[in-house]
Structures are given as structure tokens and as C-alpha cells.
């Protein structure tokens, strides 16, 4: 199975540490001083998890298919929030779509993990 993985760094006392995390399997992660070490550790842990789940007869989650994302979302907002966002977009001289994409990009960049 081809499970999607997040690969990122976190700061530790010894400096940056690489983390490889299988997003579909809670707690199935690996860590290391390099991205390669974290990936190898995560793959070992995935193998252990799959063996353990199979032995116990547990359901094994199917991998997520992030290729299904088409770039469109529908979003329901309170009318007051919608109004404030439209006003802010007008103030900035951009479309509401551009404003929201900008805000989301800013938030994702601030988190640094996605």
C-alpha cells in the first residue's frame, strides 16, 4: 500500500530533527537526524503496524488519495464574516478568492508543517 507521508523538521535540544509521519495511520511516525533516517524509521514502524494489525484481525485503513483534490472547496460562513472579508478584499483591491488564498497561504507558511 502506498500511504501518503508528511516529512518535516522540528527543533529539539540537539538541533533540528526530521519527522516522517504516515497521515492515515495515527501514531505511525519515524524520526532521525536526516530525512532519510526518518523515512527509514517510519517505514520500519509501518511494517510493524501492518503485521500487528493483521495478526489481531484489525481493519487496516486504505491510503488516502490526495490526487482527488481539484482546488475547489465550498465554504459556509456567517453572513457577518462574509461581509467583513468582502470589505477587506475591496480595501486591498483584490478578489475575495485572492484574499482567502493569501490568508490560507500565510497561515500554512506560519505553521511550517503542511
112 pLDDT higher than 60: no
For the entire predicted model, the pTM comes to 0.60
CA distance 60 to 1: 10
Q: Are 6 and 113 a contacting pair, CB within 8 Å?
A: yes
DSSP lists the bridge partners of residue 102 as none
How does pLDDT run across 22-79, given as a tens digit for each residue?
999 988 999 999 999 999 999 999 999 999 999 999 999 999 887 777 888 888 999 9
pLDDT for the residue 35: 95
pLDDT for the residue 54: 94
110 pLDDT higher than 80: no
Strand runs (DSSP E) across 1-114, as ranges? 5-12, 15-22, 29-32
Other residues' Cβ atoms within 10 Å of the Cβ of residue 42? 25
Q: Could you please report the per-residue DSSP string of 33-58?
A: SSHHHHHHHHHHHHHHHHHHHHHHTP
Amino acid at each position: 500500500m502506498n500511504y501518503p507521508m508528511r516529512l518535516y523538521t522540528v527543533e529539539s535540544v540537539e538541533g533540528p530533527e526530521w519527522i516522517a509521519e504516515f497521515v492515515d495511520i495515527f501514531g505511525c511516525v519515524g524520526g532521525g537526524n536526516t530525512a532519510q533516517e526518518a523515512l527509514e524509521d517510519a517505514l520500519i514502524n509501518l511494517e510493524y503496524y501492518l503485521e500487528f494489525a493483521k495478526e489481531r484481525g484489525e481493519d487496516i485503513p486504505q491510503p488516502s488519495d490526495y490526487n482527488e483534490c481539484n482546488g475547489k472547496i465550498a465554504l459556509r460562513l456567517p453572513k457577518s464574516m462574509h461581509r467583513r472579508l468582502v470589505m477587506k478584499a475591496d480595501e486591498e483591491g483584490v478578489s475575495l478568492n485572492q484574499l482567502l488564498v493569501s490568508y490560507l497561504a500565510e497561515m500554512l507558511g506560519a505553521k511550517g508543517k503542511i
